[in-house]
């Protein structure tokens, strides 16, 4: 039983490392050989890593079908409770020892959705859903706050590129 957890955690750590390397084009398909990735068994944070790796690393065998499978699985885990984005994997995803949880996952999901142009019609809903996870104006983990700031900046760079112009006029009690 404990050997299975060690193997699962080893895969999660390797996926985290490979995802980081993939951002700098330093990951290779050969680095994936020691992994036994079963996407449906991955926590959401590792599934986000897997989706990112599949998008960034060239030369992975059957990458198109693996990418489609992983993206569809990730999308199937997203739920909205009113405005709040949640994941069907819920409490299973809160792994403080990996510095991940629902808030970090939500913010990373927004970032990869923008980076890889996943579900473009849902981008506004995703960013709103991630923001709605805040409590008293912030997310409850430092990593979530940092990743949230990056996701908001990325969102603004995609959707808020025009300078604000014009004049705003406020009237109070018939005076200006």
Which pLDDT value is given to residue 36?
86
Look at the chain and count its residues: 176
Rounded percentage of the chain residues whose pLDDT exceeds 70:
95
What distance in Å separates the CA atoms of residue 103 and residue 93, rounded to the nearest whole number? 10
Single pTM value for the model: 0.90
When mean pLDDT is compared across 15-19, 20-24, 35-39, 61-65, the lowest value belongs to: 35-39
Which pLDDT value is given to residue 76?
98
Rounded mean pLDDT of 25-52? 95
Is the pLDDT score of 141 beyond 70? yes
**CA separation (Å) from 119 to 82, 126, 164?**
19, 9, 27
Is the pLDDT score of 62 beyond 90? yes
Q: What pLDDT digit, counting tens, does each position of 81-122 carry?
A: 999 999 999 888 999 889 999 999 999 999 999 999 999 999
């Amino acid at each position: 039983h404990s050997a299975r957890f060690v193997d699962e955690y080893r895969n999660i750590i390797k996926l985290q490392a490979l995802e980081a390397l993939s951002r700098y084009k330093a990951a290779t398909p050969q680095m994936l050989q020691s992994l036994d990735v079963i996407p449906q068994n991955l926590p959401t944070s590792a599934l986000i890593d897997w989706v990112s790796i599949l998008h960034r690393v060239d030369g992975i065998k059957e990458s198109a079908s693996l990418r489609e499978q992983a993206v569809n699985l990730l999308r199937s885990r997203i739920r909205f409770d009113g405005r709040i984005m949640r994941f069907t994997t819920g409490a299973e995803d809160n792994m403080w020892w990996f510095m991940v949880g629902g808030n970090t996952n939500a913010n990373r999901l927004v970032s990869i959705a923008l980076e890889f142009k996943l579900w473009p019609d849902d981008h506004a809903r995703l960013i709103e859903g991630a923001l709605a996870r805040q409590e008293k104006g912030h997310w409850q983990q430092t990593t979530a706050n940092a990743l949230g700031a990056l996701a908001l900046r990325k969102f603004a760079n995609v959707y808020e590129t025009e300078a604000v112009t014009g004049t705003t006029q406020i009237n109070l009690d018939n005076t200006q």
